[in-house]
A and B are shown apart, each in its own frame.
Chain A
Amino acid sequence: MSESAHETGGAGPSHRSVEAGVAIVVGVLGLITVYGSLKVGTGWGDEGPKAGFFPFYIGLIIIISSVVNLFQLFATKNDNTAFATWEQIYKVLTVVIPTAIYVAIIPFSGIYVASALLIGIFMVWLGKYKVVVALPTAIAVPIFFFVTFERWFLVPLPKGPIEKLLGF
């Protein structure tokens, strides 16, 4: 999957620095696990091994493998490949940022309105669709989900002020 990134090469953050970053994050996760396990006890209690017994060793293994990964990364020669070009990163961000906003407004606007916005914006902005095409799609899809989930299968999804206004 990452071949295409290698081909373009050059621009963008280096693969190596990103890998190092990932390894460090993984190591920190390990540390958190070990810390959390120590808080609940890692020994052998009345109920057999205590709650933190297994997570403790799992955390240790995470830390060790993360250290090994870091070591191996710096032991091999830096091949200067790029993780991704800036253009690619920009493209990824064009999905991540709207989705992050989408996720953030769900608790307030409800999922249906937020979904309509996401679909509409995505289609117009990234798909270059005309508004006359995007708008009906953006409205129809959430309505379809509403009917399927809320009415048909009775699965309540987050609703906001607009739904409340309509009496749901």
Chain B
Amino acid sequence: MSATSKVLTFGVAACVSGAIALSITPAKAWEPTHPIEIIVPAGTGGGADQMARTMQGIITKHNLSKQPVVVINKAGGAGGEGFLDVKNSKGNDHKLIITLSNLFTTPMATGIPFSWKDMTPVAMMALDEFILWTNAEKPYKTTKDYIDAIKAAPDNSFKMGGTGSKQEDQIITVALQKATGKKMIYIPQAGGGAVAVQLVGNHVDSTVNNPIEAVAHWRAGKLNPLCVFDSKKLDYKEKIAGDKSWNDIPTCKSAGLNIEYLMLRGYFMPPGVSKDAVAYYVDMFKKVRETPEWQKLMSDGAFNTTFMIGDEYTKWVAANEKLHEDLMKEAGFLAPKSN
């Protein structure tokens, strides 16, 4: 069967199901009647985008929704564009947004007026880990080697590459500066993939890439993971690079760097959406989590697979916002009030 005819039947099916939904008002559980939009408040190819598109694929492949899923990137203003769109789509039951740390950092750093409280929390899908990477050609075998090298050199001798400005990567960099007592030059890039390549090309000295962004270079022997910014080691014991697995990377804490940072990969909806709709999506996400494709994504990216919904999720988000506020304040990243 050719793809065109598939697309067409797909379209026709969508029309028909839309019409049915309209004519027989369903007494049973809520079902989407239009295509479902997933807003990605970041550019194409980044971690959030990858996750949203993988989920789009899984939902389509396993027929988890009668309506098609559309992924739309709204990256403008460090994601502010996407969040404002959701904030302003009050009561739209067919819109979801996948978040990254810019849910907290963008309003704080830029003053763009939105907050997670303007939206309806749906579910936490996973937490993304951060790892300290250096180029494998460099002599740093352990975190201690690298930290000692930084401490031994004058300020601004080491360059840290990262995604965006005043966001997660720079927050970690500031924490690292505090731990070492030495300033680093933070060089922002547009996306995580580019950051990793800059490190492979030796244009920066280290990065704090998410596992999935750098794993290919690790396997090729170009990059070296020093430590993971989490309280415990990663769970994945499958051999990845030579005889190393994610599980073999020590925590930064054990190496004397008392820094922990995890990033939310979760979903929100516009304000004022129906409870039934939220329940529908939670149910759908649960089904997504059971698919082999999702599990593969989780292990490829060494994600922390914590799943949260309801109050638990809301509480977690509130606590995480407070954490970011403290970190941002300490780093001097809060937007001036005059704006």
Are chains A and B native binding partners rather than an unrelated pairing? yes
Query: Residues of A at under 8 Å CB distance from B?
Result: 47, 147, 151-152, 154-156, 167-168
A147, A154, A167: the one contacting B33 at CB < 8 Å is A167
- Is B118 an interface position by the 8 A CB rule? no
Q: Which residues does B use to contact A, with CB under 8 Å?
A: 7-8, 11, 14-15, 18-19, 21-22, 33-35, 37, 68, 70, 165, 186
Does A151 contact B34, Cβ atoms closer than 8 Å? no
**Structural contact, A156 and B70, CB atoms closer than 8 A:** yes
Min CB–CB distance A141 → chain B (angstroms): 19
Contacting residues, chain B, for A167 (C-beta < 8 A) = 18-19, 21-22, 33
CB distance from B160 to the nearest CB of A (A): 12
Among the listed B8, B11, B34, which residue makes an inter-chain contact with A168, where contact means beta carbons less than 8 Å apart?
Answer: B34
Residues of chain B contacted by A47 (CB below 8 angstroms): 165, 186
Distance of A90 Cα from B266 Cα, bound (Å): 55
User: Is B186 touching A152 in the complex (CB atoms < 8 A)?
Assistant: no
In the complex with contacts A47-B165, A47-B186, A151-B11, A156-B18 CB distance below 8 A: no
- Cβ of A147: which chain B residues have Cβ within 8 Å of it? 11
The 6 closest A-B pairs by CB, nearest first: A167-B22, A151-B11, A154-B70, A154-B68, A154-B35, A152-B11
B186 x A151 contact (CB < 8 A)? no
Q: Name the contact of B7 in the complex, choosing from A152, A155, A168 (C-beta under 8 A).
A: A152
**B35 adjacent to A156 (CB under 8 Å):** yes
For B15, the closest partner residue in chain A by CB is A151
In the bound assembly, the distance between CA atoms of A155 and B70 in angstroms comes to 8
Q: List 5 A-B contacts (CB under 8 A).
A: A47-B165, A154-B35, A154-B68, A156-B70, A167-B19
Given A47-B186, A154-B35, A168 contacting B18 (CB threshold 8 A): yes
CB distance from A61 to the nearest CB of B (A): 26
Closest to A151 in B: B11
B67 to chain A: closest residue by CB? A154
Check A156–B165 contact: CB distance below 8 A. Answer: no
Residue of B nearest to A153 (CB): B7
- 10 additional A-B pairs beyond A47-B165, A152-B7, A167-B22, beta carbons within 8 Å, are A147-B11, A151-B11, A151-B14, A152-B8, A154-B35, A154-B68, A154-B70, A155-B70, A167-B18, A167-B19
Contacts of B165 in A (CB 8 A): 47
Complex Cα distance, B13 from A154, in Å, reads 13
Question: Whole-angstrom distance from the CB of A34 to the nearest CB of chain B?
Answer: 18
Cα distance A168–B15 when bound, in Å?
9
Q: Across the two chains, which residue of chain B brings its CB closest to A150?
A: B35
- Expressed in whole angstroms, the Cα–Cα distance for A112 and B18 within the complex equals 19
Q: State how many angstroms separate the Cβ of B293 from the closest Cβ of chain A.
A: 21
CA separation between A168 and B67, bound complex, in Å? 12
Q: In whole angstroms, what is the CA distance A167 to B16 when docked?
A: 11
A156 to B22, CA, bound (A): 19
A154 to B263, CA, bound (A): 30
Q: How far is the CB of B212 from chain A (nearest CB, A)?
A: 26
Most chain A beta-carbon neighbours within 10 Å: one of B18, B19, B33, B35: B35
Chain B CB count within 10 A is highest, among A155, A156, A167, for A167
The docked-state distance in angstroms from the alpha carbon of A167 to that of B33 is 9
In the assembled complex, the Cα of A152 lies from the Cα of B34 at a distance in Å of: 13
Residue of A with least CB distance to B23: A167
CA of A105 to CA of B307, assembled, Å:
44
Q: Of B7, B19, B37, which contacts A156 at CB under 8 A?
A: B37
**Distance of B165 from chain A, by nearest CB (Å):** 7
A40 to B70 CA separation, bound complex (whole angstroms): 37
A36 to chain B, nearest CB (A): 12
Residues of A within 8 A of B33 (CB): 167
B34: chain A residues at CB < 8 Å are 168
Tell me which residues across on chain B come within 8 A of A155, comparing CB atoms.
70
Chain A residues with CB below 8 A from B15, complex form: 151
Nearest Cβ on chain A to B67's Cβ, whole angstroms: 10
Name the residue on B nearest A40 (C-beta). B339
By a CB distance below 8 angstroms, the chain B residues around A156 are 35, 37, 70
CB distance from B253 to the nearest CB of A (A): 28
Question: What B residues does A168 contact at CB under 8 A?
Answer: 18, 34
Q: Bound state CA distance, A119 and B8, in angstroms?
A: 27
Q: Within the complex, what minimum Cβ distance (angstroms) separates A158 from chain B?
A: 13
